[in-house]
Structure 1
């Protein structure tokens, strides 16, 4: 049972929250939230109006909502994302589009300080 993938097929619409363990593959539509321990794959024709939280997330379809991954987010060719993408590692294909924020934790070596803006207008 460890290899079971939860599939939201094309033509299926889920409204609400999807939670659990294991990989989830979405080819249909989800309106709500996806929170899983495992990988989430958003297929090219999938449409999500949802926040997604998972170990890793690969998007090739459209997502309107925040995407948060423990390890990595991959925005493949044709991905369209509107929202915040937050992960340690992010890959963005040149054919992908994102409207929103990209958040990646920054861990500097000990003793290095981040310069602060001199004024409210910038650096």
Structure 2
């Protein structure tokens, strides 16, 4: 396998994403409700809209995804996650934060020959795992 096809990232099914989508959209929905009420009261809506739009990138970058890996990548991935404030437990590698401060999709775990985790983390893992191009002398 060449290195361009080895570390392909795919999004997991929508059913897997629904729980975190609900958790991610609950607060923006409350803000939207408050925005609707303030609009009826003629208070500026721009501030509320900015808060909602500001939450959208974290929803996309936290999308649960999976990436195929080679068997000898486990040790490198474990070392990388341990160096970045993750703790190993029965669910996989979880952020070293109180449970209320991270989503289920932020848990990085292994499933046979794939690693499952948030899109942003998998992009960083792919960059770490891929051999860097040699620089010309």
TM band (smaller chain): under 0.3
Structure holding more strand per residue: 1
Structure holding more helix per residue: 2
Q: Greater relative contact order: 1 or 2 (C-alpha under 8 angstroms, separation 6 or more)?
A: 2
Larger C-alpha radius of gyration, 1 or 2?
A: 2
Q: TM-score, normalised by structure 1?
A: 0.19
